[in-house]
A = this chain, B = another copy of it.
Amino acid sequence: MRYLLIYDIGHDGTRNKVADVCLDYGLARIQYSAFLGHLTAAHRRELLLKIRQRLGNHGANIQVFALDEKAWTERRVIEQEEKGSHE
């Protein structure tokens, strides 16, 4: 299953550790605070367990969403590069 993981983690070191765990599990960083990739149910459980361990006492909000094919097909993306403001 394809999963989207998003987080709010204020503490820089903790956020970096959690990002590393996400990358270790094969997720790709699609935004500063968002990761996307395929996981088995077992790996998703493991990933969340490892993230909890990395958090220690730091504040965090982490949310994981399962995206089936239909949800994936309906994804909409706006992507634009910063453009020069001088004509």
Interface residues, chain A, with chain B CB atoms under 8 Å away: 4, 6-8, 10, 30-34, 44, 48, 51-52, 55, 57-68, 70-71, 74-85
Contact = CB atoms under 8 A, between A and B. Distances in A.
Contacts of A8: 31-34
Nearest to A85: B57
Contacts of A79: 60-62
A75 B84 contact: no
One complex includes copies of this chain to the number of 2
Given A6-B34, A33-B33, A78 B57 contact: no
Q: Which of A74, A78, A80, A82 has the most CB of B within 10 A?
A: A78
Contacts of A34: 6, 8, 33-34, 63
